[in-house]
């Protein structure tokens, strides 16, 4: 019988925030979002200030400043929405256990279990905080580094994922 690589962690709000932060930092959609926010936001504010300086108190200038400020505050809104979403999740505060075999992956919580083949994972992203397992571009499973019992399990999992997934990325 095959000996699986085991990992388990408690699914708390901090884990969801960590996973979301890593996803937003390294996914193409997250990079596009950050680029839009941190380029468009300041430009809108500068444009609004320019209108106010040249035309005095003008509704269009105030509008651009408000839009720019809202764009720059959007990461805070996203964090708030993530925490609100977490509070509604049925699996919040549950222990999540993973078993990784050469041909399949098993995930279990106190209320569910799932088994899938490696071909269901299109991409694995390794960061210093953990791994994101992507069935598609928008959905991911979080596997934090501290979920592994030993550091050798981390490397074993990375090698197993590399051999079974088409796209394995490692970022510092």
Q: What are the pLDDT digits (tens) for 29-51?
A: 888 888 888 899 999 999 999 99
> Which residues does 54 contact at the CB level (< 8 Å), separation at least 6?
none
Q: What are the pLDDT digits (tens) for 65-97?
A: 999 999 999 989 989 999 999 999 888 999 999
Domain residue ranges in the chain: 5-12+90-170, 18-88
- Whether domain 5-12+90-170 has CATH 1.10.3470: no
> Quick one: pLDDT band at residue 137, thresholds 50, 70, 90?
confident
> Quick one: pLDDT band at residue 58, thresholds 50, 70, 90?
confident
Q: Is the pLDDT of residue 1 over 60?
A: no
Q: Number of helices (H) and strands (E), helices first, in the chain?
A: 4, 8
pLDDT at residue number 172: 73
């Amino acid at each position: 019988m095959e000996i699986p690589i085991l990992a388990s962690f408690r699914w708390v709000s901090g884990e969801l925030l960590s996973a979301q932060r890593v996803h937003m930092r390294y996914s193409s959609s997250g990079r596009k979002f950050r680029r839009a926010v941190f380029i468009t936001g300041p430009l809108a504010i500068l444009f609004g200030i320019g209108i106010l300086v040249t035309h005095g108190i003008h509704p269009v200038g105030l509008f651009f400043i408000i839009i720019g400020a809202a764009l720059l505050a959007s990461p805070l809104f996203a964090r708030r929405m993530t925490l609100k979403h977490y509070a509604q999740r049925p699996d919040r505060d549950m222990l999540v256990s993973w078993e990784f075999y050469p041909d399949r992956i098993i995930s279990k919580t106190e209320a569910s279990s799932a088994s899938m083949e490696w071909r269901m994972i299109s991409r694995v992203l390794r960061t210093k905080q953990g791994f994101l397992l992507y069935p598609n571009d928008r959905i991911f499973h979080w596997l934090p580094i501290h979920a592994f019992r030993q550091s050798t399990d981390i490397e074993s999992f990375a090698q197993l994922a590399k051999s079974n997934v088409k796209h394995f990325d490692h970022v510092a």
